Structures are given as structure tokens and as C-alpha cells.
A = this chain, B = another copy of it.
Amino acid sequence: MAERTKITLDESQIPRRWYNVIPDLPSPPPPPLHPATLQPVGPDDLAPLFPMELIRQEVATESYIDIPAEVLEVYRLWRPTPLYRAHRLEKALGTPARIYYKYEGNSPVGSHKPNTAVPQAFYNAAEGTKRLTTETGAGQWGSALAFACAQFGLGCEVWMVRASYDQKPHRRTMMEIYGAAVHASPSRATTAGAKVLADEPDSPGSLGIAISEAVEAAGSSADTRYALGSVLNHVLMHQTVIGEEALAQFAAAGEPLPDLIVGCTGGGSNFAGLFLPFLREKLAGRPNPVIRAVEPTAAPSFTRGRYEYDFGDTAGFTPLMKMHTLGHDFIPDPVHAGGLRYHGMSPLLSHAYELGLFEAVAKPQRETFAAAVTFARAEGIVPAPEPSHAIAAVIEEAKRCAESGQPKVILFNLCGHGHFDMVAYERYLSGEMTDFELSAERIDAALARLPAAG
């Protein structure tokens, strides 16, 4: 194995089922609550937004759910994804660590997001949905859903945060290639958007406003539903194909399981997708890796947030979810890792963090870009800003191994490439990039506005 650069699997080895970690946890995560009644949310509350099968998966109690044949057919376009041994990075760092990365950037849209976009589009099509709505920031999730909708003949309508819509037109064009309609948010197409524009005609928008618009548009038509790209249980479960393949790849290569697993966290889905199958092994008493989440210092929900019931969106339209949060109206500073700029965290991961099943660190922006450039020059792939947070933590650990002489086996998730992030790299290379200081006062002020619940 030491000599191999990548461990590939044949398409017949794509996992046939998703792994649901909840039955294996010592206790289940607390349920989402209806904000008016503070009672657990039921299927009827969610039916206008999601198809019944996804609502069922959200609260599933079985350990595995079969992946439909129609979804596997589309997964075959890019899965299984390769597991790389980072020989060149190890050499550049002079470390005895053995570094592996699972690469999800060869999907049609360049990230792990289609792993859940495809089943979400499939279940919706199967239950008669004609059109899906969603929000997107930098556009990774929007392009994944646009691709998935094209595969199943669904219409797709995306509300893209105005600032990104203007500054990052290339992701918008990609969505349009797949046939999606893309609105700058706030838009006049919804009451919520029109209201914002009436108050502030030049509003740059926010993810919170875009969610409100997409949810409103889904609710206004019986054959239209809404799709979310992270945070929820079923989304994280769909991503477990990543970790299941990685387990099979370690086994096929006869390599011992990793000592350390690293992933970046925004809503939590790529990190969960990689580590949950390894956590299953750990909970069953087999090897005991350290598992480490890496978040941006600009949105440090694990390391500086509070574990409380809070809204998933800025406007407070969603159910209350118990999660690590910085407060639902906390707006993270504009770091380039747009996929990590979220005030909250997956309730499932938040619960697992409280159970002590993994640890978390935060990284400032410039350290992540320095790590990304080191990685690109060694390994060739130019990483997206989001997984560059994982790379920064891996390089830190590999340097510790160089000092201690420990040949640790490290695995991380390279969840996407940076082909649409060249503006950010240009700012870094030209020395114009800044880190952001996040004061305790700013966090305290946002946390003081948490809703009373639970």
C-alpha cells in the first residue's frame, strides 16, 4: 500500500445502503420543536416542505436504509470516489505521518453535495413533486440540486444570496446550464423578499432571507417542495456513502484504520459523511480514532457557541433545533469559505459532540489558504476554501508527528475543488486577505437573543 497513490473501487462497490447512526448512539438527539407550541414537530408539520420518505428518514430508527436503484444509477457517474495517499504532501512536510484523503471533487459539480441532492430529487419525483426550491450562498449546493433535478426531470428554482449572485456569477451560470432558474435574493418573486426590498432596495441579502424565500415559494404551490443541503439527519445520512467507501478502501489496501479523522464543518454534512461509519466501528469497540471537526474562527459554533434550542434561519421561520449556535441572527464575517458561514450546526452532530464522541478546533482564514497552497503544489488538486480548513488541521498534526516521530495514520475529507474560488486565492496570493477577529461581546450579544425554549 505504501507505494500506491490512490485506492479506487469499481462501480459495483458503491455502497448499497446509507448508515443511520442514531440507533447506535447512547441516547437519541433531542427533537426539533414547533416554535409556537414548543412541542416536537410531527410529519404533518413538514409535509408541505418535504416528501414523506425524507420525513420518515429524518426520524428513522433502523440502522440502514437501502439506496434506491435509480439513485445508484446516478451515483455511478462519479462514485466510488478515490481514496488518495498524500505521498507528496508527506514528503513536502517531512512527516512520518501517513496522510490519506477521500476526494469528492470529481462529482459533476465538484463537491460532495450531489450525494444528497440526487436522492432528494429522486424521492420528490417519486412522490409527484414537479419543482424544488432551495437557497444557496456561494452556489455549491444550488448547482448540486440543479444537476439532480435535471436527472429526474424536475424544475429547480434557486434563491442565491444577492452578494454572491453579483460577485460569483459562474456558479449561477452552472445552475442555468442544468436548466435551473436562479433569483438574486432578496427578490420580488416572494412576499418575504419584496418586504426586505421595500425596506432596503439595495439589500445584499443573506442566507436567512434566501431560506425564507425558498420556503415561501415551496409552500405556495402543491407540486413544489423545498430541499436543504446540510444540517438535517437525512442529509447527513445520505453522505455516509463517503465513509463507507473509505472503510472498504482501507480494508482493500490492508491499511490499519486511521488514528485521526478530520473534516471541516459548516452545517456538518461532509464531516459526518466521512466519520459516521468510522464512529460505528468505534462504538462497537473496534479501533478508536480521534475525530476532529475544523470550523472557521469566523463561525465557531462548536468552539465558542452554546448548545441551545435555536432557529435554523435568521428570520425564525424554521422549527427550533437543539444545536451549537452563535445565535440565529449572528452574521459571520465574509470569509471566503462560504459553505462554513452558518450560525448553527447539525443537531445530530451537536448531540454527538456533547456526548464527547469527537473534538473541535477553529482555524483563521489565512492559515487555511496557506495550507491549501502547500497542498496544491504537492498534490496537484486545488482545494475549495472549506476543506482547506481540514487541510490546515492535518498539516498542523503532521508537523507534530515530524517532531514526535509518531507515524500516525490521518484521514481527511477533501470535499470539493476550488475551481470557482480563484478570486479568493488571488486575494490570498496578493497579500490582500485578512483574518477577522470575533469579539466575545459580539457573540454574547447574539446569544442574548436566543429564543427561550426547551
Contacts and interface: CB of A to CB of B under 8 A. Distances in A.
Contacts of A10: 8
Interface in A97-114: 106-110
B382 A177 contact: yes
Contacts of A425: 173-174, 176-177
Contacts of A11: 4-6, 8
A108 B6 contact: no
Contacts of A176: 425-426, 429
Interface stretch (A237-245, A270-278, A339-347, A373-381): A373-381
Contacts of A382: 108, 174, 177
B380 A108 contact: yes
B5 A8 contact: no
A77 B5 contact: yes
A76 interface: yes
Contacts of A423: 170, 173
Counting chain B CB atoms within 10 Å of each CB, the highest count among A106, A380, A423 belongs to: A380
Interface residues of A, number: 43
Interface in A159-188: 169-170, 173-174, 176-179
B177 A429 contact: yes
Contacts of A381: 77, 108
Nearest to A419: B419
Interface string A365-388: 000000001001111111000000
A380 B110 CA distance: 11
Contacts of A88: 151
16 contacts: A4-B11, A5-B76, A6-B11, A6-B77, A8-B10, A77-B380, A106-B106, A108-B379, A108-B382, A150-B377, A170-B422, A170-B423, A173-B426, A174-B382, A177-B376, A419-B419
